[in-house]
Structure 1
């Protein structure tokens, strides 16, 4: 899914150029004098008073990691795995066949709500656009072209919407199409992305309009600070977001935006890396603050969820563009941990550690999507201090 692979190959010194780490920004005519009518999802923070659903399928995979630590007598990290297994994570629905993941999550969340008495918010990722991952292809999807767009609408979005609408006893936070619109801000010079642009816009607008339910809270993906956080990319990003939300219809609304999905940026950097020197979005906290005024001007909500499922340790990357099995890294801030930015609805783990990013980054890394337990063990060992070990 890492579309940033192609566009983030520049050196840190090149950051002084107008649109570093993103290629040429597509220049548009600017905001229309008649701004689109966009409704924002109002009301309280949907994460407050609710427990982010802990996916038992991901938790079971971590049993392998737990046994590895036990086998070598590492009790502290074995107990840390037990704590991580109880942390809420998002469930990915990345093709038509994986729509069953929604049914499984709903069933498990209902059991958890009944047994604990705590309201659940189920995190889902909607990720199956035609011509997906246009600038890299590491996670190219199953749907192609206009025919794929029709299948996207009828075979993917329609059942997706029916399933979440029917589960009115649960709340859902849904991340819409990671990386897609970011490619339309920076990568229209890539032929595959230029061809995908109308498919992306129509597809995401259709998803937004199809998911307008009281129990659903939509977060449109806004890439991350190393991609769209550069000053010249902020206004064009807000512009394309507003265009797509407006295309969904005057009654359409979203709650806000997701950032850092499947990436490695910290929420708050303890050390400012050399490659962030020229950017005001050197971590995801500052990226949210940099983007918010442009969203506000475009009539969009200024609310964020920030993925901290995996965070690179200081010095792990020489360039911001390193995205594949970055090491050393650790599990990030525990979801629900309070932060100092009032724009943030919640820290979340949208991409929970475990699946390989691809056969890159580290020697012996398996293909994208396959479990990479040696890497998970590293994530546990370097986990954020908010993750407190639980004794078995």
Structure 2
């Protein structure tokens, strides 16, 4: 998915908008407790299987150190992407595997899922355009053929918990890219579709995280209040009393959670890493009556100096990030997670030899392993 930051950067100029007064409040999820505490993030065996070729490559090369790191990566919990109607079957596979893991280990599983199939998806770029078009009955199909069966599957698995990320990048486009004609036309569909998803997934075992892009996009002072208002608009559309747990950030992007070295291109931003972005956005969310809980994707983190600007989003030189944990040193954070499991290409761009978006990029995967500290 393309991360658009030009308009976000321009919007940073000017004073910080005052936080709006509290007029409406959505419900928190079933309790205020962190849904990740005391649970194991489901490790997707489908992704682990793809890494076998990476393990074999290191073994063949006699690189025991990196082969061992692959084995460690294969055990790490990652989110499962449900990105088209046919992909709904992957929910069934994840449920079956998570139940097996839960029975074998005795550890309560929380299954991470991404819900990603809006009509007119990726309106500002099209690199991850989906199967549905609003011009061709897309919204109705999205509701009936995608959301309804999605909800039926997770609600039926009451023995498992689910953390679901809703439509990465979508509302970020509505905050900053309304000058793009396709995004402006898609806005009502995005809002109605996500609201329907929220309303349809109101179950005690489901914890919803509305995607909030990343600090380099919506973290600028001028964008923070606009983003909170957009999120509140959509949750209101879902109906009074609807529940979301919070927000996901940095999905499929490369920002560090805690930057050890601050990159030059972050100079004018208070959201120079994802921890600071969460802390910057939280007061505006709370002012709109929204819960300020976050999960942050650290599946891939750019190496220091690998990018000259936040807008570099495609197959960036990177490492696997810190492993999922609820120890975050930020009270707004529920957990660091791996939403975008490393290995799939971002598109025909970035590093040499990159295949089409979504295809396995073996050379890139080996780089992620080599650069990873193993923690």
What TM-score do the two structures reach when normalised by structure 1?
0.92
Aligned partner of 1:159 among 138, 149, 154: 149
Cα deviation digits, residues 247-289 of structure 1 (max 9, x gap): 1001211000000000000000111111000000000010000
Structure 1: 5+ residue runs without aligned partners? 387-392
Structure 2: 5+ residue runs without aligned partners? none
Contact between 2:232 and 2:290, CA under 8 Å: does it hold in 1?
yes
Note if 1:35 corresponds to 2:32. Answer: no
**Aligned residue pairs, count:** 371
Partner of 2:84: 95
Contact between 1:334 and 1:384, CA under 8 Å: does it hold in 2?
no
Partner of 1:53: 42
SS of corresponding position for 1:175: strand
User: Matches of 1:123 and 1:189 in 2, distance apart?
Assistant: 33
Partner of 1:194: 184
SS of corresponding position for 1:232: coil
What are the residue-to-residue correspondences of 1:345-356 with 2, within 5 Å? 345-356=334-345
User: Matches of 2:138 and 2:6 in 1, distance apart?
Assistant: 30
User: Matches of 2:139 and 2:11 in 1, distance apart?
Assistant: 34
User: Matches of 1:337 and 1:238 in 2, distance apart?
Assistant: 24
Aligned partner of 1:203 among 193, 199, 203: 193
Cα deviation digits, residues 174-198 of structure 1 (max 9, x gap): 0000000000000000000000000
Cα deviation digits, residues 82-112 of structure 1 (max 9, x gap): 0000000000000000000100000000000
SS of corresponding position for 1:352: coil
How much does 1:336 deviate?
1.5
User: Matches of 2:373 and 2:208 in 1, distance apart?
Assistant: 27
Note if 1:113 corresponds to 2:110. Answer: no
User: Matches of 1:380 and 1:348 in 2, distance apart?
Assistant: 17
Cα deviation digits, residues 136-156 of structure 1 (max 9, x gap): 100001111161000000000
SS of corresponding position for 1:253: coil
What are the residue-to-residue correspondences of 1:236-315 with 2, within 5 Å? 236-315=226-305
SS of corresponding position for 2:195: helix
Cα deviation digits, residues 28-49 of structure 1 (max 9, x gap): 9x95x78334112133111011
C-alpha RMSD of the superposition: 1.8
User: Matches of 1:290 and 1:303 in 2, distance apart?
Assistant: 12
Stretch deviating more after TM superposition (39-48 or 281-290)? 39-48
Partner of 1:218: 208
How much does 1:9 deviate?
4.8
How much does 1:342 deviate?
1.2
Partner of 1:390: none
What TM-score do the two structures reach when normalised by structure 2?
0.96
SS of corresponding position for 2:51: helix
User: Matches of 2:249 and 2:221 in 1, distance apart?
Assistant: 16
Aligned partner of 2:61 among 58, 72, 86: 72
Contact between 1:161 and 1:210, CA under 8 Å: does it hold in 2?
yes
Stretch deviating more after TM superposition (139-148 or 307-316)? 139-148
SS of corresponding position for 1:286: helix
User: Matches of 1:385 and 1:139 in 2, distance apart?
Assistant: 30
User: Matches of 1:46 and 1:384 in 2, distance apart?
Assistant: 27
Partner of 1:228: 218
Cα deviation digits, residues 336-387 of structure 1 (max 9, x gap): 262211111000000000100001001110000000010001101111441x
Aligned partner of 1:358 among 334, 339, 347: 347
SS of corresponding position for 2:178: coil
